[in-house]
């Protein structure tokens, strides 16, 4: 019986041991999702002139041990899109972004956008995030798409 217990304990220890993934020392920027498609209950479209407008967002995660600094978050393209979070800061690129620091993995920060269509059409934008992340040159570009429709009168 004693031999059986020793064998069982050895197996438990062996099962619990494994290789641990080591994180890179330098900050690594990860963004999810890598593209934003605003969706609503009406065939992935939003009705022109109806509130509340659509909101969507993404999460930035630091995959490294050292803090990740986000230098800028800029939104370009159709004016139907607006950046809600992080809130614009007056001291960062003329108010285009807010500096963020994301501590070591698995810390994260959220970026939120709003969509308010003014016409029935497909809208396109680009969200560009620059950081001191060592991957992809520290810059991530996220395409943004949404559809505005006119509500049927019937």
CATH number of the structural domain spanning residue 72: 2.60.40.10
What does pTM read for this prediction? 0.74
Tell me what the pLDDT averaged over the chain comes to: 76
Q: Does 17 fall in a domain?
A: no
Q: Does 50 fall in a domain?
A: yes
Q: Which residue has the higher pLDDT, 151 or 138?
A: 138
Tell me the two tokens of residue 116.
């308010």
Q: Does 10 fall in a domain?
A: no
Judged against a pLDDT cut of 80, whether residue 120 lies above it is answered with yes
Decide: 113 and 95 in contact? Cβ < 8 Å.
no
51-60, 85-94, 105-114, 133-142 — most confident range: 133-142
Q: What does the pLDDT average to over 58-83?
A: 91
Q: What does the pLDDT average to over 41-46?
A: 59
Q: Does 107 fall in a domain?
A: yes
Tell me the two tokens of residue 19.
């290789």
Decide: 125 and 73 in contact? Cβ < 8 Å.
no
Boundaries of domain holding 127: 23-149
Residues in the chain, overall count:
154
Q: Apex CA 150: angle with CA 148 and CA 153, to 5°?
A: 160
Q: Does 8 fall in a domain?
A: no
Residues ≥6 apart with Cβ < 8 Å to 84:
55, 112, 113, 114
Q: What does the pLDDT average to over 114-123?
A: 88
Least confident of 61-75, 81-95, 113-127, 129-143: 81-95
Tell me the two tokens of residue 134.
């060592």
Q: What is the pLDDT of residues 82-109, one digit of tens each?
A: 888 664 444 444 444 456 888 887 788 8
Q: Does 35 fall in a domain?
A: yes
Judged against a pLDDT cut of 60, whether residue 126 lies above it is answered with yes
Q: What does the pLDDT average to over 13-24?
A: 60
Question: How many domains are contained in the chain?
Answer: 1
Q: Does 144 fall in a domain?
A: yes
Largest CA distance in the chain: 81
Dihedral sign (CA 42, 58, 80, 76): negative
Q: Does 11 fall in a domain?
A: no
């Amino acid at each position: 019986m004693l031999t059986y217990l020793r064998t069982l304990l050895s197996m438990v220890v062996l099962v619990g041991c494994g290789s641990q993934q080591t994180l890179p020392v330098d900050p690594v920027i990860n963004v999810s999702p890598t593209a934003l498609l605003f969706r609503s209950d009406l065939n992935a479209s939003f009705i022109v002139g109806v509130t509340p407008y659509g909101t969507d967002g993404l999460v930035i995660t630091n995959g490294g041990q050292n803090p990740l600094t986000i230098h800028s978050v800029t939104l370009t393209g159709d004016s139907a899109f607006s950046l809600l979070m992080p809130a614009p800061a007056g001291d960062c690129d003329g108010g285009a972004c807010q500096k963020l620091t994301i501590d070591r993995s698995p810390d994260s920060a959220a970026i939120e956008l709003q969509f308010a269509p003014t016409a029935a059409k497909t809208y396109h934008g680009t969200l560009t995030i620059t950081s001191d992340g060592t991957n992809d040159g520290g810059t991530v570009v996220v395409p943004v798409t949404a559809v505005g429709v006119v509500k049927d009168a019937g």
